[in-house]
Structure 1
Amino acid sequence: MKLRQLECLCAIVDAGFNISRAATNLHSSQPAVGKQLRQLEEEIGTDLLLRVKGRPTALTPTGERTIEWARRSLQCAKSFRETAREAKVGEFAWTIPLFASHTLAKYIVLPAISSFLDAFPNGHFKVMQGLPDQAAQLMQDGEAMFGVAHQPRELPPGLVAIPFRTLDLALLAPARHPLLRLKQLTLESIATYPLIAQNTSRPQGARVMRTFFEAGLDPKPVVEAPDAEVVKAFVTAGIGVAIIPAFTFDARRDTGLRIRDASNLFGASVAAIFLKRDAHLPAYAFQFLEMLDPTLERRRIEGMIFGP
């Protein structure tokens, strides 16, 4: 069994079972890719692809189990090469491509990047904005080494999410707003005022609205915004109130606004590191992750990405 055979199998599946397209992606020819697949099936002793009139259309049950191991084998081979390359390049010639949600990139990732660059100046970061459901494709394409985002309810396939920080939520309102003076803040009282909501396509925005709905409330947001900074701008303009991560509020900068703890109503969101399962991480990446949060120790991370 050869890695090239596994590579051809994965390429065919990724190309929607179009061998011609898979050959193009592999910079090979259609007959060569088809030959590699046949040799793999002959060695295993069973078909991996269902065929209709000679054309592959889907994975067989054996193929569905085989493709997972094929991808893991290719990832391990890539890790071997990257480990050797890392030893040759040296620890100070580094690049870290990562994706992060806008809010976490600004308030959590930025300070860690600043500290890391002070300690290891001979390298660079490539920061891409992304959401958890975009993580798998970014990592599959080799564009991102890891990601930082709110932990979703469902994890994209092929990824491991390692939680590292709990993020309390708070009510944001203009100073002297009636909600700030209530003895007890409730979902019902918040729902009576115009709401500036984060887009429900984002985990945090979806969770806030879901909390209202599960309580039998149906607030009508007057504005849906992409991130905490835009949300705060609309609250500053007096258009409504909002639920935001408490760590995004700065009393010195956000003049005219106040926050009130709402974690008892909405719970807390969780920031997580997203990593590709069975992926190699260079030594400097582990150093950065520990700088991002001390709980992100190498032993813990490797136990998660290489564990069952």
Structure 2
Amino acid sequence: MKLRQLQCFCAVVDADFNISRASEALHTTQPSVGKHLKQMEEELSSNLLVRSGGRILGLTANGEQILVWARRALQCTENIRAASRDSRQAHGTLTLATSHTHANYVILPAILEFTRRFPEVQIGVQQGAPEHVAEMVRSGKADIGVIHEPPDLPREVVAIPFLSAPQCLIMPLEHPLQTEPELTLEKLAHFPLIVQSKDRPQGQRVLGEFDRANLSVRVSVQALDADVMKTYVAAGLGIAVVPSYSFRELDQHFLFARDVSHIFEPGVSAVILRRDSYIRKCVFEFLEELSEGLPRSRVDALVTGGAR
């Protein structure tokens, strides 16, 4: 069996069974992709794809199993190439995929220190929603993902928690809640709320607390990141719950913050890495700058099972 057959098989699956898109991704022709798929099925004496009227509709039961091993075989091949490149060079590009909030408040200190120590390594930062970050890592378009830990992840990636951040309530200056002796969910529910989008972990966590308490809350704005939320709070559109690390000294000129860790669970951030992949030296170095809780031994054990 040839690696090109495995590449075509996985590419067709990744392209939602569209051979035209798969051929473009592989920089080849549609007939070539079809030929490799046919040869692979003939060699295995098994139908891997469900076809109807000349179209591919999905995977057979056996195709589902073969896909797992095909991806693993291609990953092992890439690991060999990566290990060889890593032994020859101490430069290159390190691509990070993250959210706007994490880019601004969590990974910036690590980037500053990393670039001071390794000026020959170029940093690339891609931003997106948690599911997009996970997909960038899964597809190899990003080396590291840094996001609020999502409930669901592709099985090809692993999430390693490294930061637990208490939540704080932000409000405009001279807001009634600024001098309230004790904050409760019931008191917060009286005011318009600015939250992250409901499909984001932070937004789900905040709104979930009100749901569990059977409290209705008026959401005035759904935003994508803490900076937009702070701007809208300062404009008087409502109050918001944000990670404590996103409230800085400069924000005190137009906002007031109070601890609400007794009401809301801390937000957990995690790094996302591709499972069973070769971890380059620069990735290890960056993770150790990001957090003391990400030593090489822990990361290696969780990603590769210690198989170095």
TM-score (norm 1): 0.91
Q: Does residue 81 of the first structure (1) align with residue 84 of the second (2)?
A: no
- Report what 1:222 is aligned to: 220
Where in structure 2 are there 5+ consecutive unaligned residues?
Answer: none
Report which stretch shifted further, 18-27 or 181-190. Answer: 18-27
State the secondary structure of the residue aligned to 1:264. coil
Q: How many residues align?
A: 306
SS in 2 for 1:278: coil
Which whole-Å deviations, capped at 9, do the CAs of 1:213-256 have from their partners, x for residues lacking one?
Answer: 22111211223332212222222233322111111122354224
SS at match of 1:265: coil
After superposition, residues 242-261 of structure 1 pair within 5 angstroms as 242-261=240-259
CA deviations on 1:56-102 (whole Å, 9 max, x unpaired) are 332111110110110111111111111111222x22x1311111111
How big is the shift at 1:164? 0.2
* 2:239 equivalent in structure 1: 241
Aligned with 2:121 (options 115, 120, 123) = 123
Work out the CA distance in 2 between the residues paired with 1:253 and 1:197.
18
Question: Cα 1:29–1:229, aligned 2, differ >3 Å: closer, same or farther?
Answer: closer
The answer as to whether partners of 1:159 and 1:276 remain within 8 angstroms in 2 is yes
Secondary structure at the residue paired with 2:103?
A: helix
Q: Does 1:174 align with 2:172?
A: yes
Matching residue's letter, 2:194: I
Whether 1:198 and 2:203 are equivalent positions in the alignment is: no
* Structure 1 unmatched ranges of 5 or more: none
Q: Provide the aligned C-alpha RMSD in A.
A: 2.1
| Matches of 1:218 and 1:122, distance apart in 2 | 53
Partner of 1:232: 230
The corresponding residue for 1:272 is 270
Call closer, same or farther: CA 1:50–1:304 in 2, change over 3 Å: same
Is the Cα contact below 8 Å between 1:49 and 1:59 reproduced in 2? yes
The structural deviation recorded for 1:25 is 3.2
CA distance, structure 1, for counterparts of residue 127 and residue 83 of structure 2:
27
Aligned-residue identity in percent? 44
**Which residue is equivalent to 1:143?**
141
Residue correspondence of structure 1 range 38-117 to structure 2 within 5 A: 38-53=38-53, 55-88=55-88, 90-91=89-90, 93-117=91-115
What SS does structure 1 have at the residue aligned with 2:77?
A: helix
The aligned counterpart of 2:13 is: 13
Q: 1:101 to 1:199 in 2, by over 3 A?
A: same
CA contact (8 A) 1:135 1:156 kept: no
Match of 1:297 in 2: 295
**Native 8 Å contact 2:284 2:296 kept in 1:** yes
